[in-house]
Structure 1
């Protein structure tokens, strides 16, 4: 995922409803670090939060 698209999702009013995929698993964006190109994501069930490189995220399953 490109930084610009991640920022668009974060700035959207529907951020919590936007599902992206990390290793084919659905997650939601919590925050994006513009400086190092990472994102904090949480699992859809809310049980885990972790940091990943933006290039590991996708909008397609």
Structure 2
């Protein structure tokens, strides 16, 4: 995912309707660090938070 799209999702008023995946796990984007290209996300399944590269996010589940 690109930084611009991640920011659009994070700032969307309807972000509950947009599913974002990290390694096929649905996550919520909490914050972005555009300087180093990372996102802090929380798992929807277990509320665990972690930092990842923004490019590892996807709006499509991998098969």
Partner of 1:48: 48
Output the TM-score relative to the length of structure 2: 0.85
CA contact (8 A) 2:26 2:45 kept: no
Q: Distance in 2 between matches of 1:58 and 1:25?
A: 10
Partner of 1:25: 25
TM-superposed CA distance for 1:46, in Å, is 4.4
Output the TM-score relative to the length of structure 1: 0.88
Q: Distance in 2 between matches of 1:26 and 1:60?
A: 10
Which segments of 5 or more consecutive residues in structure 2 lack a partner in the other structure? none
Q: Distance in 1 between matches of 2:13 and 2:56?
A: 23
Which segments of 5 or more consecutive residues in structure 1 lack a partner in the other structure? none
Which runs of at least 4 in structure 1 moved beyond 6 Å after TM superposition?
Answer: none
Q: Give the aligned CA root-mean-square deviation in angstroms.
A: 1.1
Partner of 1:60: 60
